[in-house]
Amino acid sequence: MTMKNTRKRWKSATVAIHAGTDRHGVNAAVGLPISRTSNFTFVDTEEMKRWAEGKSKAYIYTRYGNPTLSVVEEKLAELEGGEAAIVTASGMAAISSTLLAHLSAGDEVIASTQLYGGTYRLMRDTFPRLGIVVRHVTPDLAGIELLVTPRTRVLYVESPTNPVLRLVDLDKAAKFARRHGLVAMADNTFATPLLQRPLEFGFHAVLHSATKYLGGHSDIIAGAAVGSGELIGKVREMIIELGGSMDPGAGFLLDRGIKSLGVRVARHSENAMKVARFLEKHPRVARVHYPGLKSHPDHALARRQMKAFGGMMAFDVKGGLAPARRFCDRVRVFLLAASLGGVESLVVLPAFSSHYNMSEAELRTAGVTAGTVRVSVGLEDAEDLIEDLRQALA
């Protein structure tokens, strides 16, 4: 049986380790070789001419493509169920380039109200200067039919949302986009392709801050976009023009991280459920935002469209900002740090990090209160995590 036929039956954990490579040849490297080079040679001027005419897929310059990055891109495409993928220098490079590949001055975007702060500020501060109009809809998509106009080109959502883990009905969103001829884009950073695959619901593009769970070790900045070959071709052109390409060294580390994604996501989800249940019963916690809890408003939707509930959560400390700050200053196993998705557990105040420079009204729309703490539950022993939370809340 050929490897191609065998791979049709591979599950996600196997794809994460083996996709993109054929390591059964003589002297084949088990690890991913790093093509640490900025440029590549041509055989002759005829090959150079064919490349200039778009008739050759030869590597020329790492900003255009690189063998190390190609392996990671093939792996991510298979994980998300897409035809193609591109890796980028950061999550925001993937998000901005994918959006700008499909938007021009005068176009409009419908975006969920609850977004990662960097994405929200891109749409709030930069898009208006480019003549792009953004209209926001709540995660439940209420009233979305009233927002679409002849100029609408893109529907952009996160699910689960950052930082309070609301869910968007991906099937409903994708059907709306197709009904109106929109390009549907989903930020899948919190869920990863192990827990949900938006392309299977009908989305056109999936985006990741690969810095987070895909890398998994808090040692790279990276992004990724997955979709059809045609869509990713447009995004690649934008990456080439804007310069948000990934370094081959980061590509190697991203590939290394993806290989353990299956076991990591399972442990993240297991630990997070234990932590969420503890916090929900704590007298100093007003509310826990975790889709695995029955108290979460989107619990039924999460059970329907996710395989598990992931390692991200948020909770609101009773009393607001002051006790929330005291809690964050007292943790010892948890680290007070931005970002998420690494092996170590982190806490952060969204108002001082991902959602800084937002008005009170914008924070309310995002679901963020003065006492909201975002938690990235890592791979430590759950009993140690719970004990640390107990002493920090005391």
Catalytic residue among 212, 234, 236, 264: 212
pLDDT score for 266:
98
CB 335 within 8 A of CB 218: no
Q: What is the mean pLDDT of residues 274-288?
A: 98
Same domain, 333 and 201: no
Helix (H) or strand (E) holding 299: helix 299-305
Q: How far apart are the first and last CA of the chain?
A: 61
Long-range contacts for 198-202 (Cβ within 8 Å, ≥24 apart)?
A: 198/80, 198/159, 198/170, 198/174, 199/80, 199/81, 199/82, 199/226, 199/227, 200/81, 201/170, 201/171, 201/173, 201/174, 201/305, 202/170, 202/171, 202/174, 202/175, 202/177, 202/178
Distance CA 394, CA 9 (A): 50
Q: What confidence score (pLDDT) does residue 6 get?
A: 47
User: Of 241, 259, 277, at which residue does a domain stop?
Assistant: 259
Confidence of residue 181 (pLDDT cuts 50, 70, 90): very high
Question: Cα–Cα distance between 44 and 29 in angstroms, integer?
Answer: 29
Q: Is the pLDDT of residue 2 over 50?
A: no
242 plus 276 within the same structural domain: no
- Can you point out the beta strands (E) in the chain? 84-88, 108-112, 133-137, 152-158, 183-187, 205-208, 223-227, 285-289, 312-317, 335-336, 346-348, 372-376
Is 308 in a helix, a strand, or coil?
coil
| 223 and 114 fall within a common domain | yes
Q: Which secondary-structure segment (H or E) carries 266?
A: helix 261-281
User: Of 91-100, 140-149, 231-240, 358-367, which gets the smallest average pLDDT?
Assistant: 358-367
Residues 281, 194, single domain; the answer is no
Q: 79 and 191: one domain? A: yes
212 is catalytic: yes
CATH code for the domain in which residue 83 is found: 3.40.640.10
Measured CA to CA, the distance from residue 331 to residue 334 in angstroms comes to 6
The whole-model pTM stands at 0.95
In the predicted model, is pLDDT for residue 146 greater than 60?
A: yes
Write out the two tokens for 101.
């590949």
Strand 335-336 and strand 346-348: the pairing is parallel
Round the average pLDDT of the chain to a whole number and report it: 95
Rounded mean pLDDT, 122-141:
97
Residues 301 and 215 reside in one and the same domain: no
pLDDT at residue 8, rounded to an integer: 63
Tell me the helices (H) and strands (E) count for the chain, helix number first.
Answer: 16, 12
By percentage, how much of the chain surpasses pLDDT 70?
98
Of the residues 63, 274, 303, 330, only one is catalytic, namely: 63
Q: Could you say which of 120, 156, 187, 236 is catalytic? A: 187
Judge whether residue 1 has pLDDT over 60. Answer: no
Q: Is the peptide bond before 163 cis (omega within 30 degrees of 0)?
A: yes
231 with 268, same domain? Answer: no
pLDDT score, position 177: 98
Instruction: Report pLDDT for 24.
Output: 80
Residues 64 and 48 in one domain: yes
* Catalytic annotation present for 318: no
Pick from 259, 283, 303: which residue ends a domain?
259
Q: Catalytic one among 59, 116, 120, 290?
A: 116
Contact of 197 with 80, CB cutoff 8 Å: yes
Give me the sign of the Cα torsion angle 87, 89, 95, 99. Answer: negative
Based on the fold, state whether residues 196 and 265 are members of the same structural domain. Answer: no
Whether 15 shows a pLDDT value over 80: the answer reads yes
Q: Given 230, 259, 288, which residue is the final one in a domain?
A: 259
24-29 average pLDDT score: 80
How big is the CA angle at 109 (ends 108 and 111), to the nearest 5 degrees? 155
CA angle 183, 185, 187 (to 5 degrees): 175
Mean pLDDT in residue range 32-50: 95
User: Would you call 187 a catalytic residue per the annotation?
Assistant: yes
Look at the chain and report how many structural domains it folds into. 2
pLDDT in tens, 284-329: 999 999 999 999 999 999 999 999 999 999 999 999 999 999 999 9
**Do 117 and 89 share a structural domain?**
yes
- Predicted confidence at residue 23, as pLDDT, reads 80
Tell me the per-residue pLDDT of 79-113, one tens digit each, with 9 for 90 and over.
Answer: 999 999 999 999 999 999 999 999 999 999 999 99
CATH number for the domain spanning 295: value is 3.90.1150.10
* Residue 68 to residue 33: CA distance in whole angstroms: 7
The residue segments making up the domain with residue 365 are: 261-393
- Answer yes or no: do 181 and 311 share one domain: no
Any idea what DSSP says for residue 343? S
Same domain, yes or no: 245 and 270: no
Q: Is 214 exposed, middle or buried (0-12, 13-18, 19+ CB in 10 A)?
A: buried
Is residue 11 annotated as part of the catalytic site, yes or no? no
Residue with tokens 């009908």: 202
Residue 7 pLDDT = 55
What average pLDDT does the segment 56-68 reach?
A: 96
